[in-house]
Each structure stands twice: as structure tokens, then as C-alpha cells.
Amino acid sequence: MTELVITRGYPGCGKTTYALNWVAAQSGRARVNRDDLRAMLFNGEGILTDAQECDVTAAQKSMAASLLDQGTSVIVDDTNLRLRVACNWADLAHEHGAAFQCVDFHTDAQTCIERNRARQRAGQRYVPHWRILDIANRFPLDRWAEVTARTVPAVEPYVPDISKPEAWIFDLDGTLAHMRARNPYDFSRVGEDDVDHVVRHVYETLSRDETPSGAPVMIVVSGRKAMCMDLTQAWLHRHWIYADQMYMRADDDNRPDHVVKLEIFNEYIRHHYNVLGVFDDRNSVVAMWRRLGLKCFHVAEGNF
């Protein structure tokens, strides 16, 4: 069984040394490091923009997921001190059928600073000393919570009820809409997204497909937060896309898309419509729709 291991600790605590030894100890293992990706993607050190950091995140997750799918175990030797970030890795391991482990390094800040100074004297990569103190103040050693995959509801196969109205389900981001330069979490700019003309044409064609029971119900299910519902509806109308129903995650819901969409399906769609098919792009979400037994059209590679 493949493994996804993450390290957790301050800069200079020994994470990278551990990771290098872990990879060297056995074949079929690989290391994916965020700092190395920053340097590789954006020509060295320095503070990156939010958009660049999003690119690093996407690249790192894509690399880890691809390696796991190929049967290679992965170690991510970042600080991983934000619980949300650490749990995201646990979720990714769950999604790709890998065992998950978090290795904690309870090395105090002063020891890390001394090691950091030694790196600086040796001309090696180091971080400003104040940065280590700042991280230690925000993430005290005695307050690190346990890292586990967030609750994933069981997938109960969908049994169509032909007495219910026929319906199609469409995703937004990566399916009907494509981001330009906005941060994927900047929902105030969703109105700037480009429309996918091919998917929109399919959407429009299906919406006009009259059946004995009438036109099908067109449902948009998005992982966006509900705070941008009005902006999203305005964008849809501007591109002549008319949804009969639209569902989004709550503003305080940060669970993975496949979990949120399954919950939406179970609560609002499963017992109310005869779902003919789904259009989506994210691999984990496509896999969830197919586990339900639904015909899912995978419109783009979405390994993130």
C-alpha cells in the first residue's frame, strides 16, 4: 500500500534530513517539497504573490497525487503547521487510497534558530530568524492538534426514480467557467471568469431537449462559497446560462469538494430528480459521481 507522509515542525527542526533519509531507505518513494517548488517554478527565493503561491499549491498536490496513483509513496517535508493544510494532505491520501502519517518534530524555536544560523554561515538556504520566532508564537509546540482525514460520508449507490423530473448536473469552475488571473479563493472576482463555449453549448442543447415530461431540470452544483451566489448568477445570465437550481457550499465549510457535493446531492437532489448525468472536471469529484452510479462526463483533467 502506498503511503503519504507529512512532516510538521518549525524551520530547522530536521524535517528535510528525515525526508531525505526516508526516501533513501526504500525504493518507490519520493519527496515533494514546497520550498523547492517555489525555487523551481519562480526562479529562486523571495516572497511570492498570492497567485504564485496558488500555483505552487496546485503543482505540489498534482505531483503528490500523480505519484500516489503510480504506486509511489510520497513525503511532504513542509512545516504543515496549519491544521487545515495538514488535513488537506490527509484527505488527499484518503482520496488516492494511501496510508497517511504525520511525523511531528517537537524541536524548540531556539534550537531551530541555532541550526538556521549554522546554515547561514555555511552559505546554505535559511529563513530570517524572526520568522522562526513568529511561527513558534503562532503554533506553540503544546497546541498541535491531531491530523486526520475529515469525515467522508459513505457513498450509497443512486437508484433513479423515473417518476421524478429528469435532470442534468453541471459543475462551475473548470467545467462551465475558467479562471483568468484571480485567486481561486477570491470569490469577489468570479464575474471575471471566462466561459467554456463548448460546455455551454452542451448545456444549452440539453436544456432544450424536450421529453414527454417536459424540459429537463438544469442544476448547477459548485464548490464555491455561497457568499458569491449573486455574482455567480449574474455571470451565468451574462453568458446565457440559465440554471433551474444552484447549490453551493456554506461560507464556513472548508471540506473537500467531493464531500460537499455528495452532501448536496443527498440532501437536495437524490430523492427529488431522475438524474441523467453529470459534467465535472475534478478527479476526486468525478470518482465520487461514478461511485454513486451516475454517468459523469469528465470535461477536463482535474488532478487537484
pLDDT, position 74: 98
The answer to pTM > 0.85 is: no
The segment(s) of the chain belonging to CATH 3.40.50.300 are 3-143
Per-residue model confidence (pLDDT) at position 134 = 95
Give residue 44's pLDDT. Answer: 66
Mean pLDDT for each 10-residue chunk of the chain (304 residues)?
Answer: 94 96 97 93 78 89 91 96 93 84 96 93 89 95 88 82 96 94 86 96 94 89 95 97 97 86 96 97 86 93 58
Which helix (H) or strand (E) segment holds residue 247: the answer is strand 245-249
pLDDT single digits (tens) 206-261: 999 877 778 999 999 999 999 999 999 999 999 999 999 999 999 988 888 888 99
Residue 23's pLDDT is 98
Q: What is the pLDDT of residue 151?
A: 61
In sequence order, the 6+-apart residues with CB closer than 8 A to the CB of 119 are 12, 125, 126
pLDDT mean across residues, the chain:
92
Residue 50's pLDDT is: 84
**The pLDDT of residue 302:** 61
Question: What CATH homologous superfamily does 3-143 map to?
Answer: P-loop containing nucleotide triphosphate hydrolases (3.40.50.300)
* Type of residue found at 102: C
What's the pLDDT at 165?
94
Domain with CATH 3.40.50.1000 in the chain: 166-302
In CATH terms, the superfamily for domain 166-302 is HAD superfamily/HAD-like (3.40.50.1000)
